[in-house]
Amino acid sequence: MSESPFTKTEPQLNIGLLGYGTVGRTVAELLDERDCGIRIRHILRRPGHADGPLMTDSFEAVLNDPEVTCIVEALPGRDPALSYIRAALAAGKHVVTSNKAAVAADLKGLAELARANNVSLLFEASCGGGMHWVEMIKKTARFNEVSDVSGILNGTCNYMLDHMERSGLSFEEALARAQALGYAEADPTGDIEGYDAANKAAIMATLGFHTSVTIDDVSVEGITKITADDIAAATAEHKVIKLLAVVENGEAGVSARVYPALIDENHPLASVHGSFNAVFVKAEAADDLMFYGRGAGGAPTASAVVGDVVTEARHIAAGCTGPSIPLYKNLPKAPITASKAAFAVRFLIHDKPGVLAAIAAEFAKNGVSINGVNQDLKPTMTDPGYDGEIQQLRIVTHLTDEETLRNTVKAVQALDFVTGDPSILRVLD
């Protein structure tokens, strides 16, 4: 076995590890496999699970140990992780975290707390798993005017949508397979409802635009309403469905959104399969940048965590802290009406004369221009009490804002020959 490149150059660094789930356990294993001068002194676990020599159920015991220089946080969920991170920074401990919910809730406050106490806050693993793009966007944004950042930021949802399309799985089957592989948690709500991607969208907007964007500023729509019919309709049009996170700095201000979208099968994002992530950055001088890597699973995330720990060891060896997070702008948040897109809306209708004309009239009444209509879709089941066939009608619009589109769909839903829940998808250029 070759000698570690860190053994002679890195100082002894003692860390307190918070959490021993999929990520925390893998972090411990990676550090144990390499003689890099980094040692775990405490591992915080839930009460009743602290059964090893390093294990404790007391955060205070970890925090108050003077030998612990760096806190590595790998707990699930926002709380109590956020309070632990704040306490560690206030106590003069460097912090490495993989917790996107905690970072997205108050990145500005955490960055200010780290700066006030002359310690580092590193969170590479909070966004993009093993993609290692957080530091790159920070560097890009230092000397570039970033206009927008977009991409696939949830490996679980990408895996599910990919296999619904390529393997013909139902939503439920795809979710079960993702859980079996460890991509989705036992409670997958954060992934499939879009909140995981929304947390990452808040982080990348904050870093890209030097202004505070929290999870509360993000418009969120998950994939729970995507059906086999949606997949089939997309395939028929040589398109795929992807859950996208999109942040923009436009004339009306900063916007951050997460939504499922239709993209052409030849688009670069269409080739992002399985649990992989991909992010596009548009910057003034650097032009278009793309980052690609595994976005789900304990090992990729743990790899990013360990990378941050090693980085912090080097900071300590050099007698410095990591670079501060510049949040010198206070850009306004764009209203939802400022963003326009084309939409594909699929209605379930009682198939009889005059239906198309009546629906088109509602679109015209609301000022939404129709770009295309497709009624040649597989019929669905009949409604109780209705003897005719329930047909699918798919309408693609020209550019409109989401509020206007939603109001239009609501008006159409009120028509007596429209049934069920509509499917609404944005169409990516």
Tokens in use for 13?
Answer: 């660094």
Residue type, 135: E
Strands of 273-389 (E only): list them.
276-283, 287-294, 340-350, 370-374
Token pair in block for residue 106: 């108050």
Three state DSSP letters for 391-424: EEEEEEECCEEHHHHHHHHHHHHCCCCEEEEEEE
DSSP-derived secondary structure letter, 208:
H
Residues listed for the chain: 429
For the question of residue 333 being annotated catalytic, the response is no
The residue from 93, 100, 200, 239 that is catalytic is 200
Written as six digits, the tokens of 14 are 């003692």
Is the preceding peptide bond at 66 cis, omega within 30 degrees of 0? no
Going from the C-alpha of 97 to that of each of 57, 65, 116, 153, the distances in angstroms are: 19, 19, 19, 18
Straight-line distance from the first to the last Cα atom of the chain, in angstroms, rounded to the nearest whole number: 51
**Pairing outcome for strands 390-397 and 340-350:** antiparallel
Distance of alpha carbon 241 from alpha carbon 260, whole angstroms: 6
Q: Considering only CA atoms, which of 65, 57, 75 is closest in space to residue 14?
A: 65
Q: How far apart, in whole angstroms, are the C-alpha atoms of residue 313 and residue 317?
A: 6
- The CA distance from 143 to 116, in Å, is 25
The answer to whether residues 19 and 305 touch, using CB atoms and an 8 Å cutoff, is no
Contact 147, 204 (CB under 8 A): no
Task: Name the residue with tokens 């109590």.
Answer: 80
Choose among 12, 27, 89: nearest CA to 43.
27
Query: What's the CA dihedral at 291, 294, 298, 303 to 10 degrees?
Result: -50
Q: Do residues 161 and 194 make contact, with C-beta atoms less than 8 angstroms apart? A: no
Catalytic center residues = 200
